[in-house]
Structure 1
Amino acid sequence: MNIKEKILLFMKDEAYKPLTINELMQALEIEQSMKKEILKILNELENEGKIIFTRTERYGIPEKMNLVIGTLEGHQKGYAFLRPDDKEINDIFISPVDMNGAMHGDKVIVRPMKISEEVKSPEGKVIRIIERANTFVIGTFQKSKHFGFVVPDDKRIATDIFVPQEYINNAKSNSKVTVKITEWPEKRKNPEGRIVEVIGDIEDTKTHIEAVLLAKKVRQFFPEDVIKEAIKVSAEGIHEQEYKRRKDLRELPIITIDGEDAKDLDDAVYAEKINDNEYKLSVHIADVTHYVKEDRKLDKEALKRATSIYISDRVIPMLPKELSNGVCSLNPNEDKLTLSVDMTITADGKVTDYTIFESIIRNHYRMTYTDVSNILEFPDENQELLDKYKEILPMLKVMEELSLLLRRKREVRGAIDFEFPETKIITDEKGKAIDVTKYERRVSNKIIEEFMLVCNETVAEHYYWLNMPFVYRIHEDPEDEKMYEFSKFIHNLGYTLKGNNDVHPRELQQLLLKIKGTKEETLINNMMLRSLRKAIYSPESSTHFGLAAQYYCHFTSPIRRYPDLQIHRIIKGQINGKFSEAALNKLAERTVAVAEQSSKMERIADEIERDTDKIKIAEFMSDKIGEEYEGVISGVTSFGIFVELENTVEGLVHISNMVDDYYVYDNEKKELFGQGSRKVFKIGDAVRVKLVSVSIAKAEIDFVLI
């Protein structure tokens, strides 16, 4: 135990009372000569929010002093909620007058106020700001005669930022800018700042995409030393030793199946039918760890990113293109290093035998989802494709057969399969959105999906029973309260759940089957998804609720996901017997850090993809003002109804534009009804709408009912 841990443990003792630094050193029998070092440690603990330095110059533990540490979740009206670090403590409401200069995202110490019967939720007051979250803010600049101000894009930052004349730096009104805060807010005084970057004009879509990426601190460009390392390792080629020590599968007709535009091909497959009751499935994944060595520049940069980010007009990769599209990608007719899993699978979908090994393969055919689906779904209409791929036609049919067996097995155990219509945004060569359509999930997509799922489960279970440090993909059971609310909600629509709170995923799966094709399908799908927890990465194995799987991990995409890369490193180390006891202890620490960073960056990537999609959809609709559409009500709120068009574009009919009656919102039924006409608007109703306005800046689309 180091001295920092010793000090913290001593302070957490029940009998501890706040002490001065000298009293603390005396109690711990620390020499006065170490006072400078102890002061540094105490400052570190204070900055981390683990201890607090009082006005009487004493050190204590916040919890013992009726103080709570957490992060502020702001609101545009000026108040905030403290999200405590200790998840056992409920959120605390902070009124605007009790913010004490704190802003959204800041890590703070809050003193809870006395709770009376009149107060519905605990309230508190910010007494100290531990860490500022918003040194730089993205927003829209507005210029006055002698000063300017920035309206933050993030509405949770409730105040505009004042910019003195000398710090405007040639920014023009209606420019999207980055402002650096130089003075933090005080009572009746806005924060001040200076413009450090003009991103672009708010009329330009690219400006808003760039603003999203900057706000999320996305690493868009690779440092020069990382690029140099990528070029160097890419030029090395495959050493003769690798051909000798790996299993050579180059003669096997292994194929890849991906989207037409995909350049980072990290999974290849092969299948055959052994007999009437058994299949062989081989999954081959790019051996990225051969090129990306632990703690080298490439690896450190990859961990910072943790995932590739896919937006409509480009990919922001986890690895430089020399690796992601080049030496690591399983491009056709090239020798590639892989990590393979051979599985024997029975006709009821059970994996009865498997091996995990290092290999070298050749991709015989670079197939696309469209071509494989056309071959299997419409063979009579695609003779040219049948002729072109005649060598592997029998294998494609075996793959389809096997994927259906695997899917059936998952359905029987209760895996939840959401059938959301995914949005596909098509852009021209300049990146402008020219079409928005539904993304088709056809037979080939389902084949690859099932093969990757069974492979991930097999690998996860194997390493669970080896009791090795590992990175699992887990999806915890839903919270009882959320399931209760969901059960209550669907009851109003005529559906019930067995078990209510303690629900098995099979119950949810059966509900999805019942509502398929009904008007309320989208609503229930969305509400169910919101009632479930988010899947995360974890060093501890746990069930995956959504998949109804006992063991699960992400093994199959090391080019674009860091957890997969980390898992490959563990597998190769175990296969080659490289782990000493000390190495395993170090690895256990690393898996904790990798799981945490990967979960965090995945959430950010999801937010970016969602936000940029909304901007591009608004861009696509911006020249269609006045056009009329058939749509379906996809959401009902107190402020209006959301309408989804056939192509998945969604817009709002604001209640202020529903002028034919006075409409009242029924929260239980999620309906709006007219008090005079008794007209009801509910989820799933077909409506006709006219597009009246589009804001690319706000990513908002507004309709009126016809």
Structure 2
Amino acid sequence: AKAANSPADKSKNKGGRGSKKQVFESYMAFEEVSHGLKRGELIQGQIRINPKKYHEAFVPSPDDTRDIFLDGIVARNRALNGDIVVVQILPREQWKVNCTYLSVYSIVLVCKPDVLNFWPDVTVEDQCSDQDELIRKVYTFIVTENSLSFVLRIVNRHLPFVWQVVYIVEKKHSRAVTGFLKFLPDKPFAMFSPVDHRVPRINVFLADCPEDFSSRPGDYSNTLFICRITSWAADSNFAEGQLAKTLGQAGEIEPETEGILVEYDVDFSEFSDEVLDCLPKNLPWTIPPEEMRKRRDLRKECIFTIDPSTARDLDDALSCKQLPDGNFEVGVHIADVSYFVGEDNALDAIASQRATSVYMVQKVIPMLPRLLCEELCSLNPLTDRLTFSVIWKITPEGKILSEWFGRSVIRSCVKLSYDHAQSMIEAPEKMFSAEELPPADPEHPIDEIHQAVLNLHSIAKNLRAQRFSGGALRLDQLKLSFTLDKETMMPQGCYVYQYRDSNKLVEEFMLLANIATAHHIHSRFPELALLRRHPPPKAKMVDELQELCDQLGIDIDLSSAGALHKSLNTTLGDDEYTTARKEVLTHMCSRPMQMALYFCTGVLKEEPLFKHYALNVPLYTHFTSPIRRYADIIVHRLLASSLSAYFLYKIQKQASHCNDKKTLSKRVQELSSELFFGVFVKDCGPLDSEAMVMGVLDQSFDVLVLRYGVQKRIYCKSVAGLDSFHHRKVGKKSELTLVWTPEDPEKAPEEQVISIFTLVEVQLKADGAPMKYSAMLKRPEENES
């Protein structure tokens, strides 16, 4: 990656600012960083800043056991969330916690097993000797050595204040933020306050502000701006920046949405003429005869799509034909986007840069121009379309007997929604009329389509059962969906999305196709295959979760993906309380999980690292969504055997970019949902709901609001009617005792114990700030009334 800071930064921060006190350390020189990384004295990783406690930041440790903790803004040295940074241990004289005899005594008491297992000169005899002697040895070692491995293994757990950022390798954060302007009398600049507290306040020169801002600052108190950070000097707590755009009134959907897109570096501009010139000119477009001759013609087959009812980019279709021997010919047919997106032209460049379509509540930011997304590549019904097909001969039980890959031509006979397919599954004997379904090809009667759906459902159930009995894991979390007014696009209502058999049917065959494709391209291109791996969860977090569950008396097995899935789905009942508890447990089990990543097989040499943990398969890739994911286009090109060894570096670089864009896209989708729910609470609230406690801190606790599937933090100090509260921790279990002020002065105060899985009643209420809402805890007696 290109270095974001050069050695010049070191001198620049000192020059001309001699009278100012330096807040941050100057960055190391590039050569010094390179040598330090090679010698193992420095550590490189991606910084994550806690959105709820912005003074806390983390960088993954090399051994993946426990994250390195950065305490405070100074320690992260002007790095922003997502940046690739290099960290080092501060010199001992700068440690916040002095290595006194007393603090060493605490270390030995708290983490004696770690000390005994790690310490270089502690013998077995020492373990049985006087504890004061052991403490003396440890203290001497700390005072005389500055050991990186010691801090990694011991101090980072118990004295976590010794790390700092010394270099920014790559500025992944866009440096663009939404926020508000504040007028500062007698200053040549205004203060920009970002909505995201992880970003510093920014000085913006008045000349860059609206013309009448200085004379009428109150007119802009509720105006949302985009500001880009241009610099951040080492002698200032504040960055400097320029206003990029005035978005509009805070709290309105479109300005807030645009702010999210800019902040997360999503390109939502119109496609340029140069890009559009790469598209077919002669419309309506038809498949050239010479292309037809190269492909397997499947247009006579009963092939159909199953998608959300609002979908316009239909990139996958299914077919299922029963054979005379009782087996089935099942096909997955994927839009051949690579036919239209040539390599190294303007269209390919913008697609690779965008890397993914971004799905928000009210709109989609497409990866490709709409002519491709919604027309030429979309597998629209009753239209000839180019595809890549995987066709299996498969038994009713789901055993694969043979497999064929190839380019094809299909003609989808009907566009089914998940609701249509679900109706067919739930009414296997029903004769559906033409009016109950979308327009269909008369060549394929409705009952033929219905039977194909039923056969696919039956096979999918067997495939799914095999996957989970073979050790796969699925952690389903509640997903909030909205109904929108068609004219205003404002939320009219919201509901938790139901994942049904029709969804599972499609998912099962997409997984099967992706797994088959992964094996195919890896066998053909062992050094070039673009695959998707899912690392196992962080071991330390898993151990802590297992310890907590054991203490709570929850019989859960976290030893493997399959064991976790089995225990989540067999140890719980099906009443309302246990259903809620399963949701909370699922969230708890999700926290140690790592993200799945694209990678090039030629870069990651150890094949066991290729494994996908949750799916429990050795090889996996993405093949089934090339309209909305650039990684799938690369996989299609590999399938078409169009790559050579030259592309090794290029594929890995694109894989890393796809990872970044997928992460940002996921966050944008979450923020869009939060935005719409905030509007819904403001317009339709207050909203009452039962909630279950999913985490307890010393002054607050987190709840899962069961009716809406959202998570909120409740701060004890803000709970109305609370007299006092007390926190205690036993082992891994935290408890808060809330003491409510009695409404009747003659009655004694009532206590309420809050711990994991406690059911409470909450009220969601807009709290004054645009788009923000709070969860208010209701009194226990209100729960009973």
Q: The TM-score by the shorter chain falls in which range?
A: 0.7 to 0.9
* Aligned mates of 2:312, 2:461 — CA distance in 1: 28
Which among 430, 442, 448 is matched to residue 500 of structure 2?
Answer: 442
- Structure 1 residue 144, shift from structure 2 partner: 4.0
Cα deviation digits, residues 273-296 of structure 1 (max 9, x gap): 336763221111111011001111
Shift of 1:135: 4.8
Partner of 1:200: 248
1:567 to 635, 638, 645: 635
Give the TM-score, by structure 1 length: 0.83
Q: Does 1:247 align with 2:303?
A: no
Q: 1:288-343 CA deviation, whole Å, 9 max, x = no partner?
A: 01100111111111111111111100011111111010100000111101110111
Return the alpha-carbon distance in structure 2 between the equivalents of residues 130 and 545 of structure 1: 29
2:654 aligned to which of 594, 597, 616: 594
Residue 508 of structure 2 aligns to a residue in which SS?
Answer: helix
Partner of 2:664: 604
Cross-structure match for 2:753: 680
Match of 1:293 in 2: 342
Q: Following TM superposition, by how much is the alpha carbon of 1:698 offset from its aligned partner in structure 2, in angstroms?
A: 5.3
Which residue of the partner structure matches residue 12 of structure 1?
none
Please state how far the C-alpha of 1:95 moved relative to its aligned partner: 4.7
What one-letter code is carried by the residue in structure 1 that aligns with 2:725? Answer: Y
Q: 1:126 to 1:256 in 2, by over 3 A?
A: closer
- Matched letter for residue 563 of structure 2: E
> Contact 2:302/2:320 (CA < 8 Å) preserved in 1?
no
1:143 corresponds to: 183
Which secondary structure state, in structure 1, belongs to the residue aligned with residue 552 of structure 2?
coil
Q: 1:348, 1:409 within 8 Å by CA — same for their partners in 2?
A: no
Q: CA shift at 1:69, angstroms?
A: 5.5
Q: 1:645 to 1:128 in 2, by over 3 A?
A: closer
**Which residue of structure 2 aligns with residue 405 of structure 1?**
462
Query: Is the counterpart of residue 166 in structure 1 residue 239 in structure 2?
Result: no
| Aligned-residue offset at 1:415 | 1.2
Cα offset for 1:83? Answer: 3.2
Matched, 1:664 2:704: no
Counterparts of 1:394 and 1:79, CA distance in 2: 59
1:344 aligns with 2:401: no
Tell me the equivalent position of 1:263: 312
Match of 2:692 among 618, 622, 633: 633
Asked if structure 2 preserves the Cα contact closer than 8 Å seen for 1:632 and 1:684, the reply is no
- The aligned counterpart of 1:414 is 471
The CA deviation at 1:255 is 0.6
For 1:683-694, what aligned pairs fall within 5 Å after superposition? Answer: 683-694=756-767
Mapped partners of 1:264, 1:124: distance in 2 = 47
Quick one: which of 655, 679, 682 aligns to 1:619?
679
Please point out which of 309, 312, 333 is paired with 1:284. Answer: 333
Decide whether the 8 Å contact of 1:140 with 1:176 is kept in 2: yes
2:203 aligned with 1:223, yes or no?
A: no
* Structure 1 unmatched runs, 5+: 5-45, 54-58
The alignment status of 1:507 with 2:563, answered yes or no, reads: yes
User: Could you state the TM-score of these two structures normalised by the residue count of structure 2?
Assistant: 0.75
Structure 2 distance, partners of 1:234, 1:87, is: 56
Q: Is the 8 Å Cα contact of residues 414 and 507 (structure 1) preserved in structure 2?
A: yes
Gaps of 5+ in 2: 2-25, 93-97, 104-154, 214-219, 438-445, 602-606, 740-748
Deviation at 1:400, TM superposition (A): 1.4
Residue 162 of structure 2 corresponds to residue 123 of structure 1:
yes
Partner Cα distance (1:224, 1:325) in 2:
19
Distance of aligned partners of 1:144 and 1:407 in 2 relative to their CA distance in 1, 3 Å threshold: same
Partner of 2:539: 480
1:473 deviation in Å? Answer: 1.6
Q: Which residue of 2 aligns with 1:34?
A: none
Q: Which amino acid aligns with 2:90?
A: M
Partner in structure 2 of residue 31 of structure 1: none
Q: Is the 8 A contact 2:174 2:263 kept in 1?
A: no
**Matched residues in 2 for 1:74 and 1:369: separation?**
39
User: More displaced, 271-280 or 591-600?
Assistant: 271-280
Report whether the alignment pairs 1:305 with 2:351: no
**Where does residue 622 of structure 2 map in the other structure?**
554
In structure 1, how many angstroms separate the alpha carbons of the residues matched to 2:46 and 2:548?
Answer: 31
In 2, the alpha carbon distance for the partners of 1:180 and 1:562 equals 28
Question: Which one is further off, 408-417 or 310-319?
Answer: 408-417
Q: Secondary structure at the match of 2:541?
A: helix
Q: 1:17 — aligned with what?
A: none
* 1:297–1:234 CA distance, 2 compared to 1 (3 A): farther
Aligned AA for 1:51?
Answer: E
1:386/1:509 CA distance change after superposition, 3 Å: farther
Look up the equivalent residue of 1:520 and give its one-letter code.
R
Is contact 1:253–1:363 with CA below 8 Å preserved after alignment?
A: yes
The RMSD of aligned alpha carbons is 3.3
1:471 counterpart letter in structure 2:
L
> How far apart are residue 613 of structure 1 and its match?
0.7
CA positional deviation for 1:213: 0.6
SS at match of 2:775: strand
Paired amino acid for 2:519: E
SS at 1:179 equivalent: strand
- Between the aligned residues of both structures, percent identity stands at 25
Distance in 2 (CA, whole Å) between partners of 1:624 and 1:228 is 47
**d(CA) in 2 for partners of 1:96 and 1:343?**
56
1:234 and 1:327 in contact (8 A); partners too: no
Q: Deviation of residue 459 (structure 1)?
A: 1.6
In 1, Cα distance between equivalents of 2:84 and 2:473: 37
How many angstroms apart in 2 are the aligned matches of 1:526 and 1:315?
27
Q: Cα offset for 1:111? A: 5.2
Q: Distance in 2 between matches of 1:263 and 1:340?
A: 21
Q: Which residue of 2 aligns with 1:51?
A: 31
How many matched pairs? 644
Q: Distance in 2 between matches of 1:304 and 1:586?
A: 20
For 1:104 and 1:445, the matched residues in 2 are separated by 35
CA contact (8 A) 2:679 2:771 kept: no
Q: Which residue of 1 aligns with 2:109?
A: none
Select 1:177's aligned residue among 225, 229, 232: 225
Amino acid at match of 1:138: T
* Alignment correspondent of 2:122: none
Q: Paired residue for 1:377?
A: 426
**What amino acid is aligned across from residue 659 of structure 1 in structure 2?**
G
SS at match of 2:583: helix
Q: Which amino acid aligns with 1:693?
A: A
Residues 356/625 of structure 1: CA separation in 2 closer, same or farther (3 Å cut): closer
- State whether residues 693 and 754 of structure 2, in contact with CA within 8 Å, keep that contact through their aligned partners in structure 1: no
SS in 1 for 2:278: helix
Q: Distance in 2 between matches of 1:234 and 1:287?
A: 18
Change in 2 beyond 3 A, CA 1:105/1:419: closer
Q: Deviation at 1:100? A: 6.1
- Is the alpha carbon distance of 1:92 and 1:288 closer, same or farther for their aligned partners in structure 2, counting shifts above 3 Å? same
Deviates more, 1:631-640 or 1:590-599: 631-640
Shift of 1:600: 1.2
How far apart are 1:642 and its partner, in Å?
2.3
Counterpart-to-counterpart distance in 1, 2:675 and 2:763 = 20
Aligned-partner Cα distance in 1 for 2:474–2:80: 40
1:149 Cα deviation from its structure 2 partner: 1.2
